[in-house]
Chain A
Amino acid sequence: DTEVTQTPKHLVMGMTNKKSLKCEQHMGHRAMYWYKQKAKKPPELMFVYSYEKLSINESVPSRFSPECPNSSLLNLHLHALQPEDSALYLCASSTRSLSSQETQYFGPGTRLLVL
């Protein structure tokens, strides 16, 4: 099973709203990622969690706040977003093994529209 699930599938929010995106995997993976993808562009890395600890923050604005409550769950808390933050937000996970053969599996994404 290589399934990563994300909820919600679609989200429309105003600039003053607070919302959260959720990601879950039950593959025993110890690394989880948030990516942002704009139309016709590759995914852009936002955050990496390794063993539930934040290991990479790609200079993401503080209106995006990640959280990793346990090894299976990853949240992205959204507050005071801007219209340009509208995008597909992808979660991914990988084994976090020390070998070079680490594959990232993506969830279906949340399509976010900020009005």
Chain B
Amino acid sequence: GQQVMQIPQYQHVQEGEDFTTYCNSSTTLSNIQWYKQRPGGHPVFLIQLVKSGEVKKQKRLTFQFGEAKKNSSLHITATQTTDVGTYFCAGRMRGSTLGRLYFGRGTQLTVWP
């Protein structure tokens, strides 16, 4: 069954508005990775979070990893039309040695100009 839950499934925003997607796991993660997939494209690695409470920024994108390493979020400030796509989180379960990633179902972001 689904081990990493991601919400919302869809988000429509006006250009300039902020956007946040959330991921939650029922079990502790060793790390979590975020990917962006443009329409017609493939998942592109954005960032990896490893430490409890970690916060990383990439320009307008802010990624957080919860203190318990069970949840994570991606926040985009002042969205642009280039931010359109589906954002996936993918967690690696603590104790997993085979490199398996558990993907959230993704959040599809639409940005209206």
Task: Find out whether the CB atom of A104 lies under 8 angstroms from the CB atom of B33.
Answer: yes
B105 close to chain A: CB less than 8 A: yes
Q: Which residue of A lies closest to B10 (CB)?
A: A40
A31 close to chain B: CB less than 8 A: yes
Return the contact of A94 from the options B50, B86, B99, B103 (Cβ within 8 A).
Answer: B99
Residues of B within 8 A of A90 (CB): 42-43
8 A Cβ contacts from A56-82 to B: 56
Residues of A within 8 A of B100 (CB): 45, 48, 56
Residues of A within 8 A of B42 (CB): 88, 90, 106-109
B85 close to chain A: CB less than 8 A: no
Measured as residues with beta carbon below 8 angstroms from the partner, the interface class of chain B is 20 to 34
Q: Which residue of A lies closest to B103 (CB)?
A: A42
Per-position 1/0 for B77-113, Cβ under 8 A of A = 0000000001010101000011111011110100000
B72 close to chain A: CB less than 8 A: no
Task: Find out whether the CB atom of A100 lies under 8 angstroms from the CB atom of B50.
Answer: yes
8 A Cβ contacts from B41-66 to A: 41-45, 48, 50
Task: Find out whether the CB atom of A101 lies under 8 angstroms from the CB atom of B48.
Answer: yes
Q: Considering the chains assembled together, what is the distance between the CA atoms of A2 and B42 in angstroms?
A: 14
Residues of B within 8 A of A43 (CB): 43, 88, 103
B24 close to chain A: CB less than 8 A: no
B31 close to chain A: CB less than 8 A: yes
Most buried by B among A56, A88, A103: A103
Return the contact of A104 from the options B30, B101, B105 (Cβ within 8 A).
Answer: B101
- Which B residues form the contact surface with A (CB < 8 A)? 30-31, 33, 35, 41-45, 48, 50, 86, 88, 90, 92, 97-101, 103-106, 108
